[in-house]
Amino acid sequence: MADRPTEVRITIDGAQHTVAAGKYLIEAAEETGTYIPRFCWHPRMKPVGMCRMCLVEIEGPRGRLLTTSCTTIVTEGMVVDTASDVVAKAQEGVLEFLLINHPLDCPVCDRGGECPLQDQTMSHGPGESRFVEAKRHFEKPIPISDLVLLDRERCILCARCTRFADEIAGDPLIEFKERGNVTQVLTFPDEPFASYFSGNTVQICPVGALTAKPYRFRARPWDLEAVESVSLVDTVHSKISIQASQNQAVRINAIDNDPTNHGWLSDKDRFIFDYLGSEERLTVPLIRHEGELVEATWGEAITLVAERLGAVPGDAVGAIGGANATNEEAYLWGKFLRTVVGTPHLDAQLGDGLAPELLVGVTPRGVIDDLERARTILLWAGDLKEELPVLYLRVRRAATILGATLIVVHPRRTGLHDVAAHTVTYRPGDGPDVLRKLMGAQGGLAAARAALDQGPVVAIVGRTGGAEDPRLAEAVAAFAAGLPEATILPLVRRSNVYGALDMGLSPRLLPGRVSLEDEEARTALEAAWGRPVPAGPGRDATGILQGLASGELDVLLLHGADPMRDHPDPKLAAAAFDTARLVVSFDQFVSDSSHLADVVFPVEGFAESEGTVTNLEGRVQKVNRLLNGPGQTRPSAAALDDLASAMGVDLGAGSTEAIGKELATVAPAYRGISWDLLDWGDGRRGVVVPTADGEQRLRHTPVDPGLIAGGERFALHLGRVLYDDGVRTRMSPALAGLRPEPFVALTSRDASSLACGPGDQVRVEGAYGSVVLPVVIDQTLAEGTVYVPANLEGTAGLGAPASVRITPARGEGDES
Amino acid sequence: MTDFPRILTGRMTDHPTDSHTMARYEATGGYKALRRGLGMDPADIVAIVKASSIRGRGGAGFPTGVKWGFLAQTTPRYLVINGDESEPGTFKDRQLLERDPHQLVEGVILSAYALRCSHAFIYIRGEYPKPARRVQHAVDDAYAKGYLGRDILGSGFDLEVTVHLGAGAYICGEETAMLNSLEGRRGEPRIKPPFPAVEGLYAKPTIVNNVETISNIPWMVLNGGDAYAAIGPQGSMGTRLFSLSGHVNRPGNYEIVMGMTWRQFIDDLGGGMRRGRALKTWIPGGASAPWFVPHEHLDLPVTIDDTGRAGSMLGSGAVVVMDETTNVVAAAHRVVKFFAHESCGQCTPCREGCDWLERILWRILNGHGRPVDLDMMLDVCDNISPGLRWPPAQTTICPLAPSAVSPIRSILTWFRPEVEAMIPGDRPADGRTYVEGALVG
């Protein structure tokens, strides 16, 4: 292949520029400072040249020709006029055409004030209309999904929404109908635009044709206060703008961050904000009094907890949580636990994650952007569309637009099966066997194995479901590490859990990706903190619950954690709460766990606190404060500082930024990170740690899983769904109604062997509990696999056993 | 010129009852060209077509041999026959499809052989059920005879032919919209480049040719490209099928040698004006073409280039003749309404502009025209087809919207006083107009 030039010289409006080859003229012009107006062009989608707003004159062999700059790739010597009289008249003409049937109901339109049609009418429009006929009318607005409404009169038919749904989301549920002057965007009959990504169409709509139910008529754009932040719904940490009116969050929009979200969000990211203003939010401290939680003052609660904590030995205290906190809060939580309480028993995960060494110490650890260069992608993790929807978009883009070979290994059909080159479905307990066959290119896996010889390989590994042995992911990662030019993304999904682990909220880690067994590091930390740091060994979440249940531990401290709901063994959690002598919870809601606590502190959270967070790649980004927390809520760091003081220790917590500065000196992997770095310039895209200044001593040691397939008849696949019973989803009205009804899925053969059919109630029973659920047939499961969606009302009581028994439940109601 | 071979219509003229059957086709020399062609090198057939100088009969008049030369040489590549004849006034391909389908099928096989395609598609407009049945029969018969399928006549050449019916959209006659339609997508023209010869059906190199163009290929293979080029004047060689309609005594399809004057065309072929009325105007090449008028164009030769130089086109060969009783605003309105109805809706100037123009004309027709409307219409036309030049420039993806400009420009060029006379004189000075009972503007 001949060398292609990387740059070309073009002339725009008489000025010469050198621009990158292969760019569309509209982009190249914008980069050189000439903005060409546009409606249908979107930098993240293929051009269609439909709106005709970006017409410019380009000189060619047949003279100057009007050409759409969004469909023209720059070539050497191209001469372009973007402002000639011919261009200006054509653009005025297009705007006049767009406006003749537009309702001009700007005063009541959500888009008014931030509307590309308004703005470009101002800058490029004719100023008056010559249209005297009656305008086109459609019924308006019509709901096209539970979250999005469509006003076809405002629509200018740019196809941004339809292209997004098809090209980016892979949910081609909206399409043009009819033709000519009555062309309109519509859903298919009886099929709503039920996409996890529908809100993106509202944001990219260049007019007010698509509006989001949670925002409609709630504010005018010029009244909004906004801050740049990141979404903490999952661990992708998509960049967002949180927008509020009168201290009420009313909207979240995506910000295009090239390394992560590409301008997209899941509807959960976008519409979850309503929980912030929920009536159910905790607004005052609660203390258990005569069996009931009653309101108390901060002073009473702090004094009570300080006294009770001071009365037990440090290692009788276990602490779970911190994954929903910022890095600064997590750091201070860890420092408080280790130095003030004096316990090594702390864990940000709840027995539902992966080994911390794998999550923050695996090598070679990848970044999301590796997908842009990947030739082969091995995805052996949860269903990304349900668990990490924005990462799903990035993988889908790699497999469809960039042409990577995608291999999906999962117990049932996932959202990416359609675009995968190879799919492997297996019974959860058989994972090690499938891995051995893949490594040995045995059976039907030879082609997939051969594809993995084509690097660069990106391996995305995680637990396919809550019941799967976490060591399987470690074994998959160990295999993937040896593949050509491989990078690994180990996946868990809870909020800022990577940041919490980086801050040492693990029985095996110290802040900054250092092993607790690293004596030198622990000594250095003791010097920095000026207090002893317990050497451990510490207990993890399951160990803490076991210790409480057996009486070895006395006190449970919770930081935004709900083990009653999230721990795989709800029976164990219940026993632990039952025998614990003191349970203290820092929370935003009265969760299933804080409901059982002795003291509950109401704390601020997302959009209310400032700080840094770390995503699944180790990318540190800034989250910002827009709202005051409701009532008497306080930052957890301030509460901990007070608590430490009450216990006679100065925790040294100044401002949150001061905590950030301290952690950057104490946590080796975070050396060089500062708020200044993250607030300005390229740092706003986030900085992957360790930076050049930092260091990471932690290494994940591959383990031989030695797993055994489950002995029971049915292996359980406990897969996550996007809209589950998580407290924030439940408390966000826009999303709460989207939660699916719980069910148990079986293959038709397994169902008939149990003499049950679709809709029949069966009892699903495992080691930790049992639930009664209706049967759904799912032929994409491997025989002997039972799929239950995790954490829905009615499935949480099952816990996460590896295998289950199923019996008919005639006449039994819903119970657990 | 009366002495010339009836290349296209000879068989159906001589055997009006059974020209469409395999038996008659073979009895009258059919599939001889196929046998000869399969013995030739594919490049030799391309050379014949180039030598014939035939220009595409679908409308644009692009030299077929040159188009074939653009076909990228990767496999698979496809041949698509455009039988979506839907330009108002055009009904010539219908006759070829219905009355001599084997001639087309033989042409398809020869063309596919020349282009080394192994799959050809014949796209027929949905309103042509009978022609489509006949073509499907002919294709089935050709398979049965071994003229289609694997190893045709022992030549080692394989060809599959698929007959596909459109669903009633004019725009699917535009070649890239047709390819989208064949692929099962909305019939919307694609942005060019890439041209179909590089990236066409299923993104593979594709040649799209008109039914009439390809129906000439068997004759050329038997008689040579030079023999074809020897017929007719320079630039408009060969015979050509015209659809003549309107206010003439003998409307119909005529296979002629180009070069006669329009006066001869209307008087001799059409038998003169109906009821002896005076000729007012005519459309020389389908609804998209600007109109001609007697005092300017009657003695121009009927050739592709002379028509083009005079500001119009022979297009699809549809000649629509209008006499002195014609209300030109009503006629223009009907044409513009057609284009507004057939706009695919994809680009703004066409979707909004054609409909707007139609409604202005409707208003004028109904006595609600305003003096400002005429120049305003021209300016709206200019926003669709900048400069109102010929051949037209366009702000759109395809030439459909500029086609709607043609009749408006024509009536305002040749009949402006007549249009002005339809504007009521007693309009209020503010130019307000009543539409459907409501005061607007």
Considering only CB atoms, A51 lies closest to which of B348, B355, B387, namely: B348
Q: How many residues does chain A have?
A: 816
Gap between the terminal Cα atoms of chain B: 58
Report whether pLDDT(B1) > 90.
Answer: no
Q: Cβ–Cβ of B352/A182 closer than 8 Å?
A: no
Question: Does A456 sit behind a cis peptide bond, omega within 30 degrees of 0 on the bond before it?
Answer: yes
Residues of B in contact with A92 (CB under 8 A): 383
Do the Cβ atoms of A348 and A600 come closer than 8 Å? no
Residues A445 and A313 in one domain: no
Domain boundary among A83, A109, A132: A83
Q: Is residue B1 part of a domain?
A: no
User: Which among B186, B191, B343, B352 is the top mutation candidate for probing chain A, defined by the most A β-carbons within 10 Å of its own β-carbon?
Assistant: B352
CB contact under 8 A, B348 and A179: no
Which residues of chain B are within 8 Å of residue A68 when distances are taken between CB atoms?
191
A440: domain CATH number is 3.40.228.10
Contact at CB, A94 and B349, closer than 8 angstroms: yes
Distance (Å, whole) CA B428 – CA B440: 13
DSSP reduced 3-state for A18: strand
Interface of B with A (CB under 8 A): 169, 171, 186, 191, 340-349, 351-356, 359-360, 363, 376, 380, 382-384, 386-387, 393-397, 433, 435-436, 438, 440-441
Q: Do B352 and A133 touch (CB under 8 A)?
A: no
- The model's pLDDT over B237-258, given as tens digits with 9 standing for 90+, comes to 999 999 999 999 999 999 999 9
Is B432 a residue whose pLDDT tops 70? no
Residue B379 belongs to a domain? yes
My answer on whether B187 and B333 are in the same domain is: no
Q: Are the Cβ atoms of A97 and B360 closer than 8 angstroms? A: no
Same domain flag for A525 and A590: yes
Residue A260 DSSP one-character state: T
Place of tokens 């969760």: A591
In chain A, how many domains are there?
Answer: 4
Residues B305 and B336 in one domain: no
From A471, A491, A511, the end of a domain falls on: A491
- For residues A470 and A461, give the distance between their C-alpha atoms in angstroms, rounded to a whole number: 10
- SS3 for B190-250 is CCCCCCCCCCCHHHCCEEEEEHHHHHCHHHHHHHCHHHHHCCCCCCCCCEEEEEEEECECC
- What is the nearest CA distance from B395 to chain A, expressed in angstroms? 7
Same domain, B40 and B181: yes
Same domain flag for B246 and B310: yes
Same domain, B168 and B39: yes
Same structural domain, A564 and A671: yes
Residue labelled with tokens 């130089």:
B309
- What whole-number distance in Å separates Cα of residue A350 and Cα of residue B274? 93
Please say which residue of B174, B206, B229 terminates a domain. B229
Q: Say yes or no for a CB contact (<8 Å) between B393 and A181.
A: no
**Is residue A194, in this structure, part of any structural domain at all?**
no
Could you tell me if B275 and B398 lie in one domain? no
Output the average pLDDT for chain A. Answer: 95
Residue B90 CA to residue A661 CA, distance in Å, equals 80
What one-character DSSP code corresponds to residue A339? I
Co-location of A385 and A467 in the same domain: yes
Q: What residue ranges of chain A have pLDDT lower than 70?
A: 1-3, 703-712, 811-816
pLDDT at residue A812, as a whole number: 55
Q: Out of B344, B376, B386, name the one closest to residue A179 (CB).
A: B344
Provide the pLDDT for residue A498.
98
At residue A244, the 3 state secondary structure works out as strand
Across chain B, mean pLDDT equals: 94
**pLDDT at residue B99 tops 90:** yes
Segments forming the whole domain that contains residue B251: 239-323
A214 found inside a domain: no
Q: Residue B376 and residue A130: Cβ atoms within 8 Å?
A: yes
Q: Reduce the DSSP state of residue A247 to 3 states and report it.
A: coil
Cβ separation of B345 and A51 shorter than 8 Å? no
Most B-contacting residue of A58, A73, A97, A182 (CB-CB within 10 A), to test interface: A97
Same domain membership, residue A588 and residue A601:
yes
How many Å lie between the alpha carbon of B216 and the closest alpha carbon of chain A? Answer: 32
Residues A471 and A582 grouped into a single domain: no
pLDDT tens by residue, A640-669: 999 999 999 999 888 999 999 999 999 999
Query: What is the edge-to-edge ordering of all strands in the sheet holding A376-380?
Result: A422-425, A405-410, A376-380, A457-462, A487-491
Residue B434 lies in a domain: no
CATH code, domain carrying B393: 1.20.1440.230
Residue A221 lies in a domain: no
Distances (CA, A) of B366 to A678, B407, B436: 67, 18, 10
Query: Is residue A115 domain-resident?
Result: no
Residues A661, A800, single domain; the answer is no
Q: For the domain that residue A322 is a member of, what is the CATH number?
A: 3.40.50.740
My answer on whether A374 and A460 are in the same domain is yes
CATH of the domain at A800: 2.40.40.20
Residue A341 is assigned to a structural domain of this protein? yes
Same domain, B134 and B27: yes
* Residue pair A761/A772 in contact by the 8 Å Cβ criterion: yes
**Domain shared by A486 and A535, yes or no:** no
Residue A36 within a domain: yes
**A379 and A480 both lie in a single domain:** yes
Does residue B436 register a pLDDT over 50?
Answer: no
In a domain, A310, yes or no: yes
User: How near does any CA of chain A get to the CA of B23, in Å?
Assistant: 44
Q: Do residue B339 and residue B375 come from a single domain? A: yes
- Other Cβ atoms less than 10 A from the Cβ of B423: the count is 16
B122 lies in some domain: yes
pLDDT of residue A815: 46
Give the end of a domain, one of A688, A704, A722: A688
The answer to whether position B191 is within a domain reads: yes
The pLDDT of residue A816 is 40
Same domain, A26 and A54: yes
What residues of chain A have any CB closer than 8 angstroms to a CB in chain B?
47-53, 55, 65-66, 68, 71, 86, 89-90, 92-94, 96-98, 100-101, 130-134, 156-157, 176, 178-183
Domain final position from B266, B292, B323 = B323
Give a yes or no: residue B438 inside a domain.
no
| Distance from C-alpha of A588 to C-alpha of A600, rounded to nearest angstrom | 9
Q: How far apart are CA A149 and CA A212, in angstroms?
A: 6
Q: What is the pLDDT of residues B384-423, one digit of tens each?
A: 999 999 999 999 999 999 999 999 999 999 999 999 999 9
Are both B50 and B188 inside the same structural domain? Answer: yes
**Shared-domain flag, residues B284 and B402:** no
**Residue to substitute from B195, B351, B434, interface A, most A β-carbons within 10 A:** B351
Which residues in A lie closer than 8 A to residue B380 (C-beta atoms)?
93, 130
pLDDT value of position B167: 93
Q: Which of B188, B341, B343, B346 to substitute to test the interface with A, most A CBs within 10 Å?
A: B346
What is the bridge-based pairing of β-strands B78-83 and A761-765? unpaired
Identity of the residue numbered A770: S
* CA A369 vs CA A389, A488, A513, B29: distances in Å: 16, 12, 22, 66
Give residue-wise pLDDT tens across range A706-753.
655 555 678 999 999 999 999 999 999 999 999 999 999 999 999 999
Q: Do both B313 and B337 map to the same domain? A: no
Q: The domain spanning residue A24 has which CATH number? A: 3.10.20.740
Picking from B208, B229, B250, the residue at the C-terminal end of a domain is B229
* Predicted confidence (pLDDT) at residue B435 exceeds the cutoff of 50: no
Kind and range of the H or E run holding A292: strand A292-295
Q: B158 and B109, same structural domain? A: yes
CA distances from B418 to A335, A394, B373, B412, B414 (A): 92, 63, 14, 9, 9
d(CA B285, CA B59): 8
pLDDT digits (tens, 9 = 90+) for B265-320: 999 999 999 999 999 999 999 999 999 999 999 999 999 999 999 999 999 999 99
**Residue ranges making up the domain that contains A393:** 356-491
A454 and A527: one domain? no
Number of folded domains in chain B? 3
